[in-house]
A and B are shown apart, each in its own frame.
Chain A
Amino acid sequence: MTANVDLATVWAFIIAFAVFVYVVMDGFDLGLGILFPLFPDKTDRDVIMSSVAPVWDGNETWLVLGGGGLMAAFPLAYAILMPALYTPIIAMLIGLVFRGVAFEFRWRATPGKRNLWDIAFAGGSWLAALAQGIALGAILQGVHVEGRHYAGGWWDWLTPFSILTGVALAVGYALLGATWLVMKTEGALRDKAYLLSWSLLFAMLAAIGAVSIVTPFLHVAYAQRWFAWPNIIFTAPVPIAVAGVSVLLLRGLANKHDYQPFFLSLLLFALSYLGLGISMYPYIVPQSITIWQAASPENSQIFMLVGVAVLIPLILGYTSWAYWVFRGKVKAGSGYH
């Protein structure tokens, strides 16, 4: 049993890692889609698309690992959360369909129709980002479980809190997108991305603040986790670190260090994510199902752990290589397409 406890924790971290990699990597892709309406110029749009065209598909694969891994390692959680999040998940999938095909379709469409695929790209990104944020809020606020089933309705996820987390995530993705553009583009496009990054950073900090203030009121366990003695010794550094990173980010933006804002925004995401983890652990369906209750048998988890231990480093290796191949600023007119 002890071994099983450890395995479930290991797997909780693996799934959390996959979801985090997805959030930050597809986060900046989706952020570009969210910001797309603000860049009406065709040349700008071509550059924006070209800056992620070679990598977006790999980024989205982490979502499949998150979902597939959840089913494999915590089938009970997958079986309860997916029906509970039915509408946001379907909305996300449809958003991702439109967003994904737009990458190729907009180059293949006649000039008159291209605009439609630009709308599909932006609309799909918005829909996916909002749906993911709403799903996060719906998980945090808890779902109605009876036995081994979800026992709520198909609109239970819709609350002011889940709308708040939806908007918050979209804002965060937009910040990642804007700082990605700062890093990957030049000239007027980069200057515009700088301007956007300023306002988006403040919007993101407001969003982090709002979600952080509301979360402890959702459930008494969350409040105790954060504020009870001695937990507060371990939790207090998180908001302090958020403040510190924000200051660095502001300086990076002010001093126009093209690479800093993006990586500092990733750090901001990592801290927010850590905060979520602190609230949720050890529950995988908050306040109903723990990671141990949901864990698949040891035999399943060990079988996959072997694969993960060998393959994840390999995947990170060749993914880094792909990013390295397409490093540097994307120049207008010499795009990959």
Chain B
Amino acid sequence: MNLDYSQFFHMMPEVTLMALLVIVFIVDFVTAHKAPIVLTDEKTGPSPRPWFNPLVCIFMLAHILVNICPTESASVFGEMYVTSPMIGVVKTILAFGTLIVFIQARTWLSRPDSTFKEGEFYMLIISTLLGMNMMVSANHFLLFFLGLEMASVPMACLVAFDKYRHNSAEAGAKFILTATFSSGVMLYGLTFIYADAGSLYFNEVAKNLSATPMTLMGMVFFFSGLGFKISLVPFHFWTADTYQGAPTTITGYLSVVSKGAAAFTLCTILMHVFGALMQQWQYLLGIVIVLSITIANLFAIRQTELKRFMAFSSISQAGYIMLAVMGNSGMGVTALTYYILVYVVANMSVFTIISAIEERNNGVTDMDAYNGLYSTNPKLAFLMTLALFSLGGIPPFAGMFSKFFVFMAALEQGSAWAYLIVFIALINTVISLYYYLLIVKAMYINKSENPLPAFKSDCNTRLALAICTLGVALFGVCSYVYDWIFAAL
């Protein structure tokens, strides 16, 4: 069989990512140096390869720019792989989130105990991103599964990246164990689907699937696999431990990019493949959303450890993201994608600040460190407030618009069920506002005996914060962003 190489043109994002991966590999290989593994508390000292991070960021930016124009709809490689303008937009958003992660990772990567692993870090992240791209573009359950695994396995390495820190290693172990378990459950569910539909192609499954108890079970098990990635209740248990243990930068990556890719995939698969079970999955989704938002909020209220806190916040945000799917409409897909974009900037902003504070607080991310932050670092406190306001959905920040659109999308379904779910979600926004404001209160109102001394952030942190804050402030007010996504539909 002759391979038609022109098909690769439709896979531009994957091709450029692959190229990026190879370049980083070669560069890292050529310039690597034998670094003694020093485990000290020493945090200063020049990085041996100061040009490496900017180089990768520029390449990543190039990757985004090359692929920013929405692609034509196409399906290649025997319809295993599909692409459409919307998929292009999602990939761009994922790459954008990754770029921010790269930018803000520099401080952390230049520490003596991780600087010799810098190349690995980029390679691992790029391979997870490649996996997510495959997952988003899949039109066949096998390719989808490959993409999912490709995104999860390197992710476990990333979570355990600070391997000499007990927390990080433990988080990595927990992540890989639960990930394997959930993959198993999901594969088990897929066998039921295959048994009924006789095919793993999305189009054929959509055509042949019948609503029987068996397929229903298959669907729920499949759902649990992606629910694990998005960290929906009750598949969320890994989240808190992993988020807390992983290096902060990775936590940020995990909470936005990985979650966003999985949410989009789940959305398209539910809408396009499980049409026969639509009624059932709408109920399923409703239950899971309510559980996720409510339980995560209840957990979040009591947290004092900020990364753990953000883990529960991200579970609750996942519930909001999935609300968009309830409507089963094109508007829902747009709302979901928009939500992901807004969530990327707001959450990355928070994680960048957490990371900056952690750096100066001996690696502790307790809420106590934020007491009185406003008096010493007013600008940082202000940016954190903006990001938290956006997460809480306070106008005029982008988060308010994204929440508004997902609610609209969910209400489009029009059933009493949808109204009930949206109502519960609305009540929960009040609770979430409460705990987001707890941090704001800590920064502005709480007094502290010895607040964190004033410090100047390095330029990478500033750049990342500037991009995120611009996004938080403008993505909502400028309708072009939403229109850009909507146009890709």
User: Do A and B actually bind?
Assistant: no
Chain A residues engaging chain B, CB cutoff 8 angstroms: none
